[in-house]
């Protein structure tokens, strides 16, 4: 009883009157216990703080935005290219390299039922699932370097079981099962514009995935970061699940990062034009950052250098490399949360299920790239868009299966010649 009263007191403190009314008037003892149990693991103070800040967009001081240095792969002198590559190859051959695929997203824009990695596309090389494409790319590297690269997959509460089931059913597409590990990302409650936390059909708080920035803490909490360390892994490539030209094993990227004495690096591609709606690399307050197109002042978006290239033209393609020390450091940092305004069906105070047609609730997400700002510098390697970037985001139009398959097929054709 005391526990129940404490929960109500806590809910009162954060003005969660809807939940209080529901619990006291409409819930059975069993339902109360379940919700109480869930609430014990939710940091209400943090959620309310996020809600209060939901509409505040942190102002960026334009005077603190600077260009970031990058290396263009195509203009690397041959000697240097070879040197970087050899350094990277040594890392891979010595079993110090691992890959993480971030597959915890909801893939709402694509609208595929099930985890995005289970989406199938038809290419000139036959039909392939997105997870299968990743396996093929790992296997190719394994053959080349005589290793079996450990593969870690970040899932979410919503898609973890389905992801594992899918890979089991497909026998991991021939990958050594013991080398594939899963970890779940975190979640944060959604909250309605009126400040009440969203209660789902199951009479529990609706918690949504907390963004791909969850990777740092979740990897540590799962125990896998420690495991990587004890296995001698030093460099970890992190990428998304939906770029079908993503180069997940690249000795050159590894070599350049080591040579430049950085703990993190990213690939970039050139922004198509000043208006392209993408995030680009820059420095803000002297440290690396990915700045969203919405945040970059127009005058800077069009600014060019002496070669006529955009000053802020290095597009983030979610192709990152981390030293294990960087992941260890980031696991203990608080990343900022970004707010998205979403549609969320909910139970009202009378426990009626309300289906909404307009956005009504806030969802909070942290982004992996916000981790970069905890370091003074990072290496950026500019690569050719047509070689490494074919994202599947939307069901049709730009960045859709159709556009990605075309890029994939063209790549295959170019490289088979």
Residues within the interface to ligand UTP (CB under 6 A): 102-109, 116, 154, 185, 209, 211-212, 240-242, 318, 365, 393
Closer residue to ligand UTP (CB): 94 or 356: 356
Structure tokens at 356: 């909404």
Closer residue to ligand UTP (CB): 22 or 244: 244
Shortest Cβ 10–ligand UTP spacing (Å): 27
Closer residue to ligand UTP (CB): 124 or 398: 398
Closer residue to ligand UTP (CB): 155 or 265: 155
Shortest Cβ 326–ligand UTP spacing (Å): 18
Q: Burial letters for 133-155: b for 16+ Cβ neighbours within 10 Å, e otherwise?
A: bbbebbbebbeebebebbbbbbb
Closer residue to ligand UTP (CB): 252 or 368: 368
Shortest Cβ 293–ligand UTP spacing (Å): 14
Shortest Cβ 308–ligand UTP spacing (Å): 31
Task: Give the residue at shortest CB distance from ligand UTP.
Answer: 105
Shortest Cβ 335–ligand UTP spacing (Å): 12
Q: Burial letters for 368-395: b for 16+ Cβ neighbours within 10 Å, e otherwise?
A: bbbbbbbbebbbbbbbebebbbbbbbee
Shortest Cβ 114–ligand UTP spacing (Å): 12
Closer residue to ligand UTP (CB): 206 or 393: 393
Closer residue to ligand UTP (CB): 240 or 288: 240
CB neighbours of residue 24 within 10 Å: 11
Shortest Cβ 32–ligand UTP spacing (Å): 30
């Amino acid at each position: 009883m005391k526990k129940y009263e404490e929960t109500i007191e806590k809910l009162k403190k954060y003005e969660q009157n809807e939940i209080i009314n529901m619990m006291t008037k409409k819930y059975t003892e069993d339902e109360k216990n379940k919700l109480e149990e869930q609430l014990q693991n939710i940091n209400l103070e943090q959620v309310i703080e996020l809600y209060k800040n939901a509409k505040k967009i942190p102002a960026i001081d334009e005077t603190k935005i600077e260009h970031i240095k990058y290396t263009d792969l195509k203009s690397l002198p041959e000697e240097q290219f070879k040197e970087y590559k050899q350094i990277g190859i040594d890392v891979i051959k010595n079993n110090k390299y691992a890959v993480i695929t971030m597959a915890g997203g909801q893939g709402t824009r694509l609208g595929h039922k099930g985890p995005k990695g289970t989406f199938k596309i038809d290419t000139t090389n036959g039909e392939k699932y997105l997870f299968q494409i990743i396996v093929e790319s790992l296997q190719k590297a394994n053959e080349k370097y005589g290793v079996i690269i450990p593969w870690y997959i970040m899932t979410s509460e919503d898609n973890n079981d389905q992801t594992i089931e899918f890979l089991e059913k497909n026998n991991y597409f021939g990958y050594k099962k013991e080398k594939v590990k899963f970890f779940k990302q975190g979640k944060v409650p959604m909250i309605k514009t009126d400040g009440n936390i969203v209660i789902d059909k199951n009479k529990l708080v609706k918690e949504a995935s907390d963004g791909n920035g969850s990777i740092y803490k979740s990897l540590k909490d799962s125990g896998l970061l420690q495991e990587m360390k004890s296995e001698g892994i030093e460099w970890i490539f992190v990428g998304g699940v939906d770029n079908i030209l993503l180069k997940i094993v690249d000795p050159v990227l590894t070599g350049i990062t080591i040579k430049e004495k950085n703990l993190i690096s990213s690939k970039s591609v050139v922004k198509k034009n000043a208006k392209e709606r993408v995030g680009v690399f820059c420095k803000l307050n002297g440290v690396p950052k990915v700045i969203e197109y919405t945040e970059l002042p127009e005058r800077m978006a069009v600014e060019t250098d002496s070669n006529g290239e955009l000053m802020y033209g290095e597009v983030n393609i979610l192709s990152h490399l981390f030293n294990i020390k960087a992941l260890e450091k980031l696991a203990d940092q608080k990343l900022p949360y970004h707010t998205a305004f979403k549609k969320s069906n909910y139970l009202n105070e009378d426990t009626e299920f309300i289906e909404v047609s307009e956005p009504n609730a806030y969802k909070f997400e942290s982004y992996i790239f916000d981790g970069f700002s905890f370091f003074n510098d990072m290496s950026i390697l500019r690569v050719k868009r047509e070689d490494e970037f074919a994202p599947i985001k939307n069901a049709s139009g730009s960045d859709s299966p159709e556009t990605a398959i075309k890029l994939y097929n063209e790549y295959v054709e170019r490289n088979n010649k």
